[in-house]
Structure 1
């Protein structure tokens, strides 16, 4: 008797991302999003990407189940929360609802996502790396130059971001530092 192999479930996945990367210039979290979600699309999962774009040119991929829901970035260059939330709500009612929602960092604000039960958030720790760079710059600053305030401002931003960790049930850490931070809070 042949072994029974169940048909794998095809997932409907939403991704909230500040900016979908140019495949030839992707790095860090952009590379993570590109690699992960293209691989999922190639395995026949239905991927809906909610992101911003300031141009009309957008990469094309040889898969039919990768859907881009674009919005203009805010004046500060961030994802327009109102626009992408409306797009998400519309897509969540077409056919079946999303099986998984994946957000880059706080790209889906907690005020909107707190009632979503199938949410995974990727924390990449970029602010940690920026602070490291600020420390090096401060150490190399000539004593006659005034002290920069960027380090203090960025540290507060990191603390505020880390405070959100406990608001989300599922996390994806893309660096050891982020993994250690999450473990300390849980």
Structure 2
């Protein structure tokens, strides 16, 4: 089965491969735009980004399914929460959607996002590292390495795989 991944981000690729590890699959990572803001600021926008990546992957290449994974934030009365969403698209069927765990971002990070900055560069400055989003991610920093970005997206990807298997059971 050929699985099209709507991102070249290593954490997202690793997550999809881990979720589909019980399949004999070929993975194709594609640079598909989310068509939402570079820093999604709501669940709705983050879900739209994931769906757009999945649909875009399937529309531009030949494959069985398209997977889109998107990270964002959601503002609540308790503060700004990190969120992640995923979508799995098959030709002629509605998207399968799943969301993952959430953590409250520290105010010193949240204020930059509310002011219009993107989480990745903010985290790079905060940690004095480069490309945090391709490695442990903000979740890895703020959970002291207990959960990293690939782990968070693997959880979402497994939710997608399970729904895919349920929908296509015979």
TM-score > 0.5 by shorter chain: no
Larger RCO (CA within 8 A; separation ≥ 6): 2
The TM-score with structure 1 as length reference comes to: 0.30
Max Rg structure: 1
